[in-house]
Amino acid sequence: MYKTILTPLDGTRESEMILPQVETLAELCKAKIVLLQVIEPPPPHVAAVETEALREGLAHRTSEMQHYIHSVEARLQQQGFTVQALVRQGNVVETILEVAEECGADLIAMASHGYRGLTRLLHGSVAAELLHRASLPLLILRASEPKA
Amino acid sequence: MYKTILVPLDGSPRAETILPHVISLAAHYKARVVLLQVVEPIVAMVTPYDMVPYVDKEAADRVLQEVKSYLTAKEGELRGQGIEAKAVVESGPVVSTILDVAEREQADLIAMASHGRTGLARVFYGSVAAGILQRADRPLLLIRAQD
Protein backbone atom coordinates (compact mmCIF):
# COMPACT_ATOMS: atom_id res chain seq x y z
CA MET A 1 0.00 0.00 0.00
CA TYR A 2 2.61 2.57 1.04
CA LYS A 3 5.78 2.30 -1.06
CA THR A 4 8.02 4.95 0.42
CA ILE A 5 7.72 6.25 3.97
CA LEU A 6 9.53 9.47 4.82
CA THR A 7 10.51 9.78 8.47
CA PRO A 8 11.98 13.09 9.63
CA LEU A 9 14.08 12.73 12.79
CA ASP A 10 15.72 15.47 14.82
CA GLY A 11 18.16 13.55 16.95
CA THR A 12 15.88 13.45 20.00
CA ARG A 13 14.45 10.41 21.71
CA GLU A 14 10.95 11.87 21.20
CA SER A 15 11.35 11.95 17.44
CA GLU A 16 12.38 8.28 17.45
CA MET A 17 9.12 7.26 19.12
CA ILE A 18 7.56 6.97 15.67
CA LEU A 19 10.03 4.28 14.55
CA PRO A 20 8.13 1.20 15.83
CA GLN A 21 5.08 2.38 13.83
CA VAL A 22 7.21 2.92 10.74
CA GLU A 23 8.84 -0.49 11.10
CA THR A 24 5.51 -2.30 11.31
CA LEU A 25 4.05 -0.37 8.39
CA ALA A 26 7.16 -0.84 6.26
CA GLU A 27 7.21 -4.54 6.98
CA LEU A 28 3.54 -4.91 6.10
CA CYS A 29 3.75 -2.85 2.92
CA LYS A 30 7.31 -3.84 1.99
CA ALA A 31 7.98 -0.13 1.85
CA LYS A 32 11.25 1.70 1.66
CA ILE A 33 12.09 3.96 4.61
CA VAL A 34 13.70 7.35 4.01
CA LEU A 35 15.16 8.91 7.16
CA LEU A 36 15.64 12.65 7.00
CA GLN A 37 17.44 14.98 9.32
CA VAL A 38 17.04 18.67 8.56
CA ILE A 39 19.51 21.18 9.95
CA GLU A 40 18.19 24.72 10.04
CA PRO A 41 20.69 27.41 9.08
CA PRO A 42 21.07 30.28 11.59
CA PRO A 43 18.91 33.37 10.99
CA PRO A 44 20.57 35.91 8.64
CA HIS A 45 21.17 38.60 11.29
CA VAL A 46 23.18 36.11 13.34
CA ALA A 47 24.92 34.68 10.31
CA ALA A 48 26.17 38.13 9.30
CA VAL A 49 28.04 38.71 12.57
CA GLU A 50 29.33 35.35 13.68
CA THR A 51 30.33 33.90 10.33
CA GLU A 52 33.38 31.89 11.31
CA ALA A 53 32.10 30.39 14.56
CA LEU A 54 28.79 29.58 12.96
CA ARG A 55 30.31 27.85 9.99
CA GLU A 56 32.35 25.67 12.31
CA GLY A 57 29.36 24.99 14.54
CA LEU A 58 27.21 24.07 11.59
CA ALA A 59 29.85 21.75 10.14
CA HIS A 60 30.25 20.08 13.50
CA ARG A 61 26.50 19.67 13.91
CA THR A 62 26.13 18.32 10.37
CA SER A 63 28.74 15.62 10.93
CA GLU A 64 27.19 14.75 14.29
CA MET A 65 23.80 14.40 12.68
CA GLN A 66 25.18 12.35 9.84
CA HIS A 67 26.70 10.00 12.38
CA TYR A 68 23.41 9.79 14.26
CA ILE A 69 21.14 9.18 11.30
CA HIS A 70 23.46 6.60 9.79
CA SER A 71 23.40 4.67 13.05
CA VAL A 72 19.59 4.56 12.88
CA GLU A 73 19.86 3.58 9.22
CA ALA A 74 22.27 0.73 10.07
CA ARG A 75 19.99 -0.56 12.81
CA LEU A 76 16.98 -0.65 10.46
CA GLN A 77 19.05 -2.26 7.69
CA GLN A 78 20.08 -4.99 10.10
CA GLN A 79 16.40 -5.70 10.63
CA GLY A 80 16.09 -6.21 6.88
CA PHE A 81 14.53 -2.91 5.83
CA THR A 82 15.38 -0.94 2.73
CA VAL A 83 16.55 2.36 4.17
CA GLN A 84 18.01 5.59 2.90
CA ALA A 85 19.33 8.28 5.24
CA LEU A 86 19.58 11.95 4.26
CA VAL A 87 20.91 15.03 6.01
CA ARG A 88 19.81 18.34 4.51
CA GLN A 89 20.12 21.98 5.38
CA GLY A 90 17.22 24.38 5.14
CA ASN A 91 13.88 25.32 6.62
CA VAL A 92 12.50 22.20 8.29
CA VAL A 93 9.01 22.13 6.78
CA GLU A 94 10.13 23.22 3.28
CA THR A 95 12.89 20.63 3.24
CA ILE A 96 10.63 17.81 4.40
CA LEU A 97 8.17 18.66 1.61
CA GLU A 98 10.96 18.88 -0.98
CA VAL A 99 12.45 15.55 0.01
CA ALA A 100 8.99 13.94 0.09
CA GLU A 101 8.54 14.96 -3.53
CA GLU A 102 12.08 13.96 -4.56
CA CYS A 103 11.85 10.46 -3.19
CA GLY A 104 8.22 9.97 -4.18
CA ALA A 105 7.10 9.37 -0.60
CA ASP A 106 3.48 8.39 -0.14
CA LEU A 107 3.47 8.81 3.63
CA ILE A 108 5.26 11.09 6.08
CA ALA A 109 5.53 9.50 9.52
CA MET A 110 6.84 11.50 12.44
CA ALA A 111 6.54 12.25 16.12
CA SER A 112 5.20 15.62 17.11
CA HIS A 113 6.58 17.25 20.22
CA GLY A 114 3.20 18.68 21.03
CA TYR A 115 4.08 22.11 22.28
CA ARG A 116 1.50 23.81 24.45
CA GLY A 117 0.50 27.33 25.36
CA LEU A 118 2.82 30.14 24.45
CA THR A 119 5.51 27.91 22.99
CA ARG A 120 2.92 26.52 20.64
CA LEU A 121 1.83 29.96 19.51
CA LEU A 122 5.38 31.13 18.95
CA HIS A 123 6.91 28.08 17.36
CA GLY A 124 3.92 26.13 16.20
CA SER A 125 5.14 22.66 15.55
CA VAL A 126 6.60 21.07 12.49
CA ALA A 127 3.79 18.53 12.46
CA ALA A 128 1.07 21.20 12.59
CA GLU A 129 2.76 23.17 9.83
CA LEU A 130 3.04 20.05 7.68
CA LEU A 131 -0.59 19.24 8.32
CA HIS A 132 -1.53 22.52 6.69
CA ARG A 133 0.78 22.17 3.71
CA ALA A 134 1.48 18.55 2.84
CA SER A 135 -0.65 16.94 0.17
CA LEU A 136 0.27 13.41 1.25
CA PRO A 137 -0.94 11.52 4.31
CA LEU A 138 0.79 12.14 7.63
CA LEU A 139 1.14 9.59 10.38
CA ILE A 140 1.77 11.51 13.56
CA LEU A 141 2.47 10.36 17.07
CA ARG A 142 2.47 13.01 19.74
CA ALA A 143 5.50 12.51 21.94
CA SER A 144 5.31 13.38 25.63
CA GLU A 145 5.62 17.03 26.62
CA PRO A 146 9.12 18.46 26.63
CA LYS A 147 10.27 19.31 30.14
CA ALA A 148 10.21 23.08 30.50
CA MET B 1 -0.72 -3.70 14.46
CA TYR B 2 -3.77 -1.47 14.20
CA LYS B 3 -6.79 -3.33 15.57
CA THR B 4 -9.28 -0.49 15.81
CA ILE B 5 -9.24 2.63 13.66
CA LEU B 6 -11.38 5.56 14.77
CA VAL B 7 -12.59 7.77 11.92
CA PRO B 8 -14.27 11.05 12.90
CA LEU B 9 -16.53 12.34 10.11
CA ASP B 10 -18.64 15.48 9.96
CA GLY B 11 -20.96 14.77 7.07
CA SER B 12 -18.85 16.71 4.56
CA PRO B 13 -17.26 15.20 1.43
CA ARG B 14 -13.96 16.69 2.62
CA ALA B 15 -14.00 14.63 5.79
CA GLU B 16 -14.71 11.54 3.70
CA THR B 17 -11.48 11.91 1.73
CA ILE B 18 -9.78 9.92 4.51
CA LEU B 19 -11.96 6.87 3.82
CA PRO B 20 -9.95 5.31 0.94
CA HIS B 21 -6.85 5.41 3.18
CA VAL B 22 -8.75 3.85 6.06
CA ILE B 23 -10.23 1.16 3.84
CA SER B 24 -6.85 0.01 2.55
CA LEU B 25 -5.30 0.13 6.05
CA ALA B 26 -8.21 -1.77 7.56
CA ALA B 27 -8.07 -4.37 4.80
CA HIS B 28 -4.31 -4.86 5.36
CA TYR B 29 -4.50 -5.00 9.13
CA LYS B 30 -7.90 -6.68 9.33
CA ALA B 31 -8.79 -3.81 11.62
CA ARG B 32 -12.18 -2.80 12.91
CA VAL B 33 -13.33 0.67 11.87
CA VAL B 34 -15.33 2.91 14.19
CA LEU B 35 -17.03 5.77 12.36
CA LEU B 36 -17.79 8.66 14.66
CA GLN B 37 -19.74 11.81 14.24
CA VAL B 38 -19.92 14.28 17.07
CA VAL B 39 -22.96 16.51 17.22
CA GLU B 40 -22.45 19.77 19.05
CA PRO B 41 -25.46 21.00 21.01
CA ILE B 42 -27.51 23.51 19.04
CA VAL B 43 -28.28 26.62 21.02
CA ALA B 44 -30.89 28.88 19.49
CA MET B 45 -30.23 32.48 20.46
CA VAL B 46 -33.41 34.09 19.20
CA THR B 47 -36.38 33.34 21.40
CA PRO B 48 -39.86 34.78 21.07
CA TYR B 49 -40.37 36.31 24.53
CA ASP B 50 -37.11 36.65 26.33
CA MET B 51 -33.41 36.75 25.72
CA VAL B 52 -32.59 33.47 27.35
CA PRO B 53 -30.83 31.13 24.96
CA TYR B 54 -32.39 27.70 24.89
CA VAL B 55 -31.58 24.36 23.36
CA ASP B 56 -33.94 23.48 20.54
CA LYS B 57 -34.71 19.88 21.41
CA GLU B 58 -36.66 19.21 18.23
CA ALA B 59 -33.95 20.56 15.94
CA ALA B 60 -31.35 18.63 17.89
CA ASP B 61 -33.28 15.38 17.50
CA ARG B 62 -33.71 16.02 13.79
CA VAL B 63 -29.97 16.60 13.35
CA LEU B 64 -29.24 13.49 15.37
CA GLN B 65 -31.49 11.41 13.13
CA GLU B 66 -29.86 12.80 9.97
CA VAL B 67 -26.41 12.10 11.33
CA LYS B 68 -27.37 8.58 12.32
CA SER B 69 -28.72 7.70 8.90
CA TYR B 70 -25.65 9.23 7.22
CA LEU B 71 -23.23 7.24 9.36
CA THR B 72 -25.22 4.03 9.02
CA ALA B 73 -25.01 4.40 5.23
CA LYS B 74 -21.21 4.80 5.47
CA GLU B 75 -21.04 1.82 7.80
CA GLY B 76 -22.92 -0.20 5.17
CA GLU B 77 -20.46 0.88 2.45
CA LEU B 78 -17.51 -0.34 4.51
CA ARG B 79 -19.18 -3.61 5.40
CA GLY B 80 -19.91 -4.07 1.70
CA GLN B 81 -16.14 -4.07 1.20
CA GLY B 82 -15.68 -6.73 3.85
CA ILE B 83 -14.55 -4.39 6.63
CA GLU B 84 -15.91 -4.68 10.13
CA ALA B 85 -17.45 -1.28 10.80
CA LYS B 86 -19.47 0.38 13.50
CA ALA B 87 -21.18 3.76 13.54
CA VAL B 88 -21.17 5.88 16.69
CA VAL B 89 -22.97 9.20 17.17
CA GLU B 90 -22.15 11.25 20.25
CA SER B 91 -22.93 14.76 21.36
CA GLY B 92 -20.56 17.11 23.10
CA PRO B 93 -17.53 19.27 22.36
CA VAL B 94 -15.89 17.82 19.24
CA VAL B 95 -12.24 17.36 20.17
CA SER B 96 -12.69 15.97 23.67
CA THR B 97 -15.54 13.71 22.56
CA ILE B 98 -13.37 12.23 19.81
CA LEU B 99 -10.64 11.56 22.36
CA ASP B 100 -13.13 10.02 24.82
CA VAL B 101 -14.50 7.68 22.17
CA ALA B 102 -10.95 6.75 21.10
CA GLU B 103 -10.29 5.75 24.71
CA ARG B 104 -13.57 3.89 25.12
CA GLU B 105 -13.24 1.97 21.85
CA GLN B 106 -9.53 1.37 22.48
CA ALA B 107 -8.69 2.78 19.08
CA ASP B 108 -5.02 2.45 18.24
CA LEU B 109 -5.23 4.90 15.35
CA ILE B 110 -7.33 7.99 14.72
CA ALA B 111 -7.61 8.75 11.01
CA MET B 112 -9.13 11.96 9.71
CA ALA B 113 -9.00 14.67 7.08
CA SER B 114 -8.02 18.16 8.09
CA HIS B 115 -9.60 21.17 6.48
CA GLY B 116 -6.23 22.77 6.10
CA ARG B 117 -7.03 26.36 6.86
CA THR B 118 -4.13 28.72 6.36
CA GLY B 119 -3.10 32.15 7.52
CA LEU B 120 -5.28 34.09 9.91
CA ALA B 121 -8.20 31.68 9.74
CA ARG B 122 -5.87 29.00 11.06
CA VAL B 123 -4.73 31.16 13.97
CA PHE B 124 -8.28 32.02 14.99
CA TYR B 125 -10.20 28.87 14.29
CA GLY B 126 -7.62 26.14 14.25
CA SER B 127 -9.25 22.95 13.12
CA VAL B 128 -10.51 19.82 14.73
CA ALA B 129 -7.54 17.90 13.35
CA ALA B 130 -5.13 20.44 14.84
CA GLY B 131 -6.95 20.17 18.17
CA ILE B 132 -6.62 16.40 18.09
CA LEU B 133 -2.98 16.74 17.08
CA GLN B 134 -2.27 18.77 20.20
CA ARG B 135 -4.00 16.40 22.58
CA ALA B 136 -4.18 12.85 21.26
CA ASP B 137 -2.22 10.18 23.08
CA ARG B 138 -2.28 7.74 20.16
CA PRO B 139 -1.12 7.70 16.54
CA LEU B 140 -2.93 9.88 14.05
CA LEU B 141 -3.24 9.48 10.31
CA LEU B 142 -4.06 12.86 8.83
CA ILE B 143 -4.58 14.05 5.32
CA ARG B 144 -5.18 17.58 4.20
CA ALA B 145 -8.43 17.74 2.31
CA GLN B 146 -8.32 19.89 -0.83
CA ASP B 147 -10.63 22.87 -0.88
Cβ atoms of B144 and B113 within 8 Å: the answer is: yes
- pLDDT for residue A11: 84
Is the residue at A22 inside a domain?
Answer: yes
Q: Is the interface score ipTM higher than 0.85?
A: no
Total structural domains in chain A?
1
**pLDDT tens across A31-66, in order?**
999 999 998 877 777 666 777 877 888 888 889 999
Nearest CA in chain B to A130: B144
Query: What is the percent of chain B where pLDDT is above 70?
Result: 81
Of the candidates B122, B136, B143, the beta carbon closest to that of A142 is on B136
B89 in contact with chain A, both atoms CB, cutoff 8 A? no
- pLDDT for residue A148: 39
B127: pLDDT confidence band, cut at 50, 70 and 90? confident
Cα–Cα dist B141/B112, whole Å = 6
A135 has a pLDDT exceeding 80: yes
A146: pLDDT confidence band, cut at 50, 70 and 90? very low
B130: pLDDT confidence band, cut at 50, 70 and 90? confident
Higher-confidence residue of B128 and B54: namely: B128
Nearest CA in chain B to A142: B137
Of the candidates B28, B116, B133, the beta carbon closest to that of A28 is on B28
**pLDDT tens across B66-86, in order?**
999 999 999 999 999 999 999
Cα–Cα dist B100/B96, whole Å = 6
A138 has a pLDDT exceeding 90: yes
**pLDDT tens across A102-131, in order?**
999 999 999 886 555 555 555 457 887 888
Cα–Cα dist A105/A36, whole Å = 12
Is the residue at A86 inside a domain?
Answer: yes
Predicted structure pTM score: 0.84
E-only strand ranges, B56-104: 85-91
- pLDDT for residue B69: 96
Longest Cα–Cα distance in chain A: 50
- Which residue segment(s) compose the domain that A9 sits in? 4-142
Is the residue at A109 inside a domain?
Answer: yes
CA-derived radius of gyration, chain B: 16
Closest Cα in chain A, distance from residue B95 (Å) = 15
- pLDDT for residue B75: 97
Q: How is domain B4-144 classified at the architecture level of CATH?
A: 3-Layer(aba) Sandwich (3.40)
**pLDDT tens across B44-69, in order?**
555 566 666 666 778 778 888 999 99
Cα–Cα dist A7/A33, whole Å = 7
Q: Looking at residues B93-100, what average pLDDT do you find?
A: 92
Is the residue at A57 inside a domain?
Answer: yes
Of the candidates A114, A134, A139, the beta carbon closest to that of B139 is on A139
**pLDDT tens across B14-39, in order?**
889 999 999 999 998 899 999 999 98
Is the residue at A67 inside a domain?
Answer: yes
Q: What is the CATH number of the domain that holds A54?
A: 3.40.50.620
Q: Which CA distances in Å does B77 have to A61, A68, A134, B70?
A: 52, 46, 28, 11
Is the residue at A147 inside a domain?
Answer: no
**pLDDT tens across A10-19, in order?**
888 888 999 9
Is the residue at A70 inside a domain?
Answer: yes
Is the residue at A148 inside a domain?
Answer: no
B42 has a pLDDT exceeding 80: no
Alpha helices in A1-148 (DSSP H): 13-16, 19-29, 44-49, 51-78, 92-102, 117-123, 126-133
